[in-house]
Amino acid sequence: MKTSGNTILVTGGGSGIGREMARWWHAHGNTVIVAGRTPETLEETTGGQDGFHTMVFDVGDPADIERAAREIVAEFPALNVLVNNAGIMKYEDATAGRDLGDAEATIATNLLGPIRLTDALIDHLKTRADPAIVNVTSGLAFVPLPATPTYSATKAALHSYTVSLRAKLGDAVEVIEVAPPGVQTDLTPGQSTNDMYMPLADFIAETMAQFEGDETPSEVLTGPVEPLRHAERDGTFGKMLAMLNQR
């Protein structure tokens, strides 16, 4: 993926990883559209800067995705990069009957959202120069956190979907996966100040440095996520799962 001169749509751009990735790309000479459900947080991301735009829509709503995709293509025909970053994470007790509302919302946002938005934009992206799709998954795609079973499952599924997209699209569209470790954001209560998580600034610096190379890796990984990503290869899956289950 080229570093500058892109027109990039970043979902979940109102906070956390999405906000800081969007700011990095904008600072490096790209037109960036940040998307999310809350206008105020999107405006905080952009700060009213030139070449930095907002689009309000809900990636969990199929009709809203279709509406937003049409508007984005009409307003930003140069769009050549889609970053599927929006996501929610809910703690669940899957050991007893419960209201599945959180599970259903997680699947709609984390998995069906990227699938639907990619589907709505793929024909357009294939007509652009240097097109790319960046899917943000998680280290929990490779070893689940049992306290967040649906979140972990959606990220595993998005990893698999990303691999399939890459195989089928070939050279037509570059497909990149960013798999974060636990990062200090507001994804869950107390996470932004928990020392167990990677500082957001460190994650952004290490991640975006990999977009600056001559060739962006198909999987963008930071140091703290490597043990999760390679747990099966290294024979440590059981140990890692037990450790996560104790949290």
pTM of the model: 0.97
Q: DSSP letter at 183?
A: B
Per-residue confidence (pLDDT) for residue 214, from 0 to 100: 86
Per-residue confidence (pLDDT) for residue 20, from 0 to 100: 98
Per-residue confidence (pLDDT) for residue 174, from 0 to 100: 98
Name residues of the chain where pLDDT drops below 70. Answer: none
Burial 132-150 (b: 16+ CB within 10 A, else e): bbbbbbbbbbbbbbbbbbb
186 half-sphere exposure, CB direction, 13 A CA radius: 8
* Backbone torsions φ then ψ of 10, nearest 5 degrees: -120, 115
- Alpha helical stretches, state H, the chain: 16-27, 39-46, 62-75, 101-107, 113-125, 149-169, 200-209, 226-229, 231-234, 237-245
- Tens-digit pLDDT profile for residues 63-92: 999 999 999 999 999 999 999 999 999 999
Per-residue confidence (pLDDT) for residue 213, from 0 to 100: 86
Per-residue confidence (pLDDT) for residue 228, from 0 to 100: 98
Of 45, 40, 50, 57, residue with least CA distance to 15: 45
Q: Which residues pair with 177 in a beta bridge?
A: 135, 219
Indicate the domain borders of the chain: 7-245
d(CA 106, CA 40): 23
The H or E element spanning position 174 is: strand 174-178
CATH classification of 7-245 is 3.40.50.720, yes or no?
Answer: yes
List residues with catalytic annotation: 151
